[in-house]
Structure 1
């Protein structure tokens, strides 16, 4: 049998490879990419709403109004006066009522109860939407190749979030809270709860981005990725996440209301007496001045690093990628202004919740820019 002559630059040991026909990669198992993407968009909207409702629950001091965790029967609210009396009696036994809300009326209690009940109910809705979608697509064999574990991960994280939510609430109800007279949940547990919510939101957004194009298009786009810009935007993503978690620490102890001045904290750059709590490490979680100071300094550094990343991103050869980084820089500036306004207005509800919504927008825009640095969109020769 005659051998085919080797090409001039063919490496020894190379064997001819079959080239996949256009669309062959996607034809293998495309699944219901479009339908799954819409389902994930619904989950994204629900999780974003959950973050906002959770913020309002914290700002209205409603988080401890339900003193038990009952994932199934807890979905049913009090149905009569006797049920309300029982719930109110449970609330009256915790430090928040005894030290902060002594004399609260049943009507006032119902207001904070409905906030927390709605927050937990929305969590149940998210779990149900995920379960119906995931098991429905799985049973119909409509999940694309390589996506089952990714989509299942969202459910695992959602379940973990529910457990962490109760772990957080329990910190305001347990013996330690009774002993030290704490009227709120532990700030580090609140930060964990919010941080995981943003992780879930981030994974969901990333999956929505990936499912927006066929696998073959993503593979082609990755060949044109800007690795340096992708690495820098990954760093910005991590830094942005850290700032969000620090913001949760501020919210956890109402530190945003401690120093309604800017750029100074009161009359000085550094907050007065920041290390009075023993042991020392507790100051970084419980001293209002120090916690707010760290959040402010981190915000300035995030803005500076964001400018560095934007300066790199604006030089991208892809017009849509450049636009994505312009949006990130604009949102970083807006978020800084919102943070300053939140401090100046002592974290009034409407200002503080706008700042939290700004964090969601900032987070998604950073993820979008990171995605486009790795998977740039096609453009014309003119660069549009």
Structure 2
């Protein structure tokens, strides 16, 4: 009997070790995916700031991987661009060499997006077939993959909005495109964090977990507002701080009719809302940190709240600098990078209150 119990215990330990090994592999894979997604969002931001997003006027998911390879192909691509309003109204007289500059930004953005699809789908298939993915994670990961495929369609839907009458893409579609990218990023971060060991420290207060969730959602909402600002070029106006147009709360916020349209189409209103959202996020992060430090300063949750507040503060400083300098490309991309860092850490912080995924294999064996 003792021999049987010893064998069962050894089998249990072996399975626990195998589960942890599988989790390390999946964490490494998701970390690579997160890094690639981070790079994709930054390249997308640079593509927007250099007004390169409309340089490729056709959607070729497979053939589009290959760029023009000859002078004739470059001329053909350039002629397609010359047919859209952006060229006629903003870039008329542009040379082929100047066109190449904006073309490469958009091509790199699309190529990176396709590459992420590959580095997500192929390892997912391998881990699934070899039994390395725990049952509870399979369909959430498939859902992220499906959302990534849908994101490709959304990207083209966004670009197409600037090919007929406009000289830029719709701010509504731009915001949708960026938010979906952030949801994919957040989903990967949530799963990765759940596969990491947790400290087991209790939450500092009864409201800590709820506040962490609010901060994560607020971080995503701020990115949405930032996308509207970018889509309307609202960051190039009212470049003073802390006053905006000479006041804390400027006039002219609801001059368009119906009034709700100002929330999406009035550059002044959209920029003001983005500022107000930043102030609110800063205040909530500060309150969360102070409450955590007051209740349980030695816990990992409290220490994470300090890091989160520091990241929010740094991001606010980057945002102010970007605004005052009238959105130079480098600062604009840095601001977008900071937003993604804040979102990623906020998601990880929230996930830390939920706890590590149970090691299902070990539990099943023990039962």
TM-score range, shorter chain: 0.7 to 0.9
Task: Give the deviation of 1:22 after TM superposition.
Answer: 10
Q: Which has the higher contact order (CA 8 A, sep 6+)?
A: 2
Task: Give the deviation of 1:243 after TM superposition.
Answer: 0.8
Residue of structure 1 aligned with 2:324, choices 339, 344, 352: 344
- CA distance 1:26–1:272, change in 2 (3 Å): farther
Residue of structure 2 aligned with 1:289, choices 244, 255, 268: 268
Residue of structure 2 aligned with 1:330, choices 310, 313, 318: 310
In structure 1, stretches of 5+ residues that fail to align are 1-19, 377-384
Judge conservation of contact 1:272–1:289 (CA < 8 Å) in 2.
Answer: no
Task: Give the deviation of 1:113 after TM superposition.
Answer: 0.3
Listed as ranges, the matches of 1:140-151 within 5 Å are: 140-151=130-141
2:183 corresponds to 1:199: yes
**Which structure's CA Rg is the greater one?**
1
The CA RMSD over aligned residues, in Å, is 2.3
What is the aligned residue count?
345
**Could you tell me which residue of structure 2 aligns to residue 258 of structure 1?**
237
2:289 corresponds to 1:310: yes
The answer to which of 21-30 and 330-339 deviates more is: 21-30
- The two structures have a TM-score, normalised by structure 1, of 0.84
Listed as ranges, the matches of 1:1-384 within 5 Å are: 24=12, 27=15, 30=19, 32-174=22-164, 178=165, 182-213=166-197, 221=200, 224-225=202-203, 227-314=206-293, 315-316=295-296, 318-375=298-355
Task: Give the deviation of 1:286 after TM superposition.
Answer: 2.3
Task: Give the deviation of 1:284 after TM superposition.
Answer: 2.1
Judge conservation of contact 1:221–1:374 (CA < 8 Å) in 2.
Answer: no
The answer to which of 73-82 and 120-129 deviates more is: 73-82
**Could you tell me which residue of structure 1 aligns to residue 365 of structure 2?**
none
**Could you tell me which residue of structure 2 aligns to residue 7 of structure 1?**
none
Please give the secondary structure, in 2, of the residue aligned with 1:70: coil
Structure number with higher helix proportion = 2
CA displacement 1:110-149 (0-9 Å, x = unmatched): 0000000000000000001111101111122221231111
CA displacement 1:212-234 (0-9 Å, x = unmatched): 23xxxx6x939x45652111110
Task: Give the deviation of 1:235 after TM superposition.
Answer: 0.9
The CA distance in 2 between the partners of 1:240 and 1:131, in whole Å, is: 28
- CA distance 1:123–1:310, change in 2 (3 Å): same
CA displacement 1:329-368 (0-9 Å, x = unmatched): 1111111111111110111111111111111111122122
- CA distance 1:305–1:78, change in 2 (3 Å): same
Judge conservation of contact 1:88–1:109 (CA < 8 Å) in 2.
Answer: yes
Task: Give the deviation of 1:312 after TM superposition.
Answer: 2.1
CA displacement 1:316-340 (0-9 Å, x = unmatched): 3653222111001111111111111
The CA distance in 2 between the partners of 1:329 and 1:337, in whole Å, is: 12
